[in-house]
Amino acid sequence: MSLLTKKISNLFYSLFPEQCLHCKALLGNGEENLCFSCYSKLPLYQASWVSPEKNLITEQLKHRVNQINFAASYFYYEEDGIPQTLIHHLKYRGFKNIGKWIENNFFDANNTLFFRPMDVIIPVPLHPKKRKERGYNQVDSLCKALSKRWDIEIDNQSVIRDVYTNSQTQKSKMGRMNNMKGVFCVNSHQNFYQKNVLIVDDVLTTGATIQAIAQEIEEYQPKSINVLVLAIVV
């Protein structure tokens, strides 16, 4: 960094100091997105990495999707909690690198068991209208970080979102299920036959979105279907 650039950076920071996204405390050296206090309070879902074939997520999905194999989440989602803050900034405030930051900061040796079998990553797609409104898919940076670390292909083309849906937040479980019927379709299936497919989303609530995509993929005989989310609502 040049001396001039450093001075400009220091001036910008003095005028607009970076704050913790959750508690708004000023960030110090070594802190990014969250202060150390909030970082230490993140509700990690570590058990899902230790036992990705049998945990809260897999049990929730297996009775609806026959080929679900591994499932994991980085965090538990809590109302007004720190994961909610991170995901809100990721989705609506333009903090696109939060996904990469999460992968980099919460990588663990247990993840090896989870990721090594994977052949292709499918980010849950946005409808073209919503992608245009937001400007990006909120799980893109996480998927790119995973792809780079594990050398797994990202496929943004094979599954498309045909139907524009409004927010699911206020819908009941049955309402969410009905709202997701016919939303996704498989545009190309070459990446699915006898492949270990990893579907990546931000928040798992009822599993309606994951179920809708997985059931479309199931028709093309994947070896397994696996799920990774940033947070799960419990």
Domain CATH for 163: 3.40.50
Q: Which two tokens stand for residue 9?
A: 């950076």
User: Which of 14, 53, 99, 91 shows the shortest CA–CA distance to 224?
Assistant: 53
Residue 109 and residue 11 share a domain: no
Residue 11 and residue 53 share a domain: no
pTM across the whole model = 0.88
Residue 74 and residue 96 share a domain: yes
| pLDDT tens-digit series, residues 102-121 | 999 998 888 999 999 999 99
Q: Are 130 and 147 in contact (CB under 8 A)?
A: no
User: Residue 116: which residues within 8 A CB-CB, separation 6 or more?
Assistant: 150
Residue 73 and residue 121 share a domain: yes
Three-class DSSP labels, the chain: CCHHHHHHHHHHHHHCCCECCCCCCECCCCCECECHHHHHCCCECCHHHHCCCCCHHHHHHHCCCCCEEEEEEEEEECCCCHHHHHHHHHHHCCCCCHHHHHHHHCCCCCHHHHHCCCCEEEECCCCHHHHHHHCCCCCHHHHHHHHHHHCCEECCCCEEECCCCCCCCCCCHHHHHHHHCCCEEECCCCCCCCCEEEEEEEEECCCHHHHHHHHHHHCCCCCEEEEEEEEEEC
Q: Look at the chain and count its residues.
A: 234
pLDDT in tens, the chain (234 residues): 456 655 554 444 444 569 999 999 999 999 999 999 999 999 999 999 999 999 999 999 998 898 999 999 999 999 999 999 999 999 999 999 999 999 999 988 889 999 999 999 999 999 999 999 999 999 999 999 999 999 999 999 999 999 887 654 555 556 556 668 789 999 999 999 999 999 999 999 999 999 999 999 999 999 999 999 999 998
The angle, 0 to 180 degrees and rounded to 10, between the axes of the packed helices 208-218 and 173-180 is: 40
Residue 209 and residue 117 share a domain: yes
Per-residue model confidence (pLDDT) at position 211: 94
Per-residue model confidence (pLDDT) at position 2: 56
Which domain does 6 fall in, by range?
1-41
Residue 76 and residue 29 share a domain: no
Residue 121 and residue 145 share a domain: yes
Residue 3 and residue 78 share a domain: no
Residue 119 and residue 129 share a domain: yes
Residue 76 and residue 21 share a domain: no
The angle, 0 to 180 degrees and rounded to 10, between the axes of the packed helices 140-150 and 98-105 is: 40
Instruction: Work out how many domains the chain is built from and give that number.
Output: 2
In terms of C-beta density within 10 A (0-12 exposed, 13-18 middle, 19 or more buried), how is residue 103 classed? buried
Paired strand residues for 225: 68, 197
Residue 98 and residue 146 share a domain: yes
Residue 185 and residue 81 share a domain: yes
Query: What is the C-alpha separation between 24 and 37, in angstroms, rounded?
Result: 11
Per-residue model confidence (pLDDT) at position 9: 46
Per-residue model confidence (pLDDT) at position 39: 98
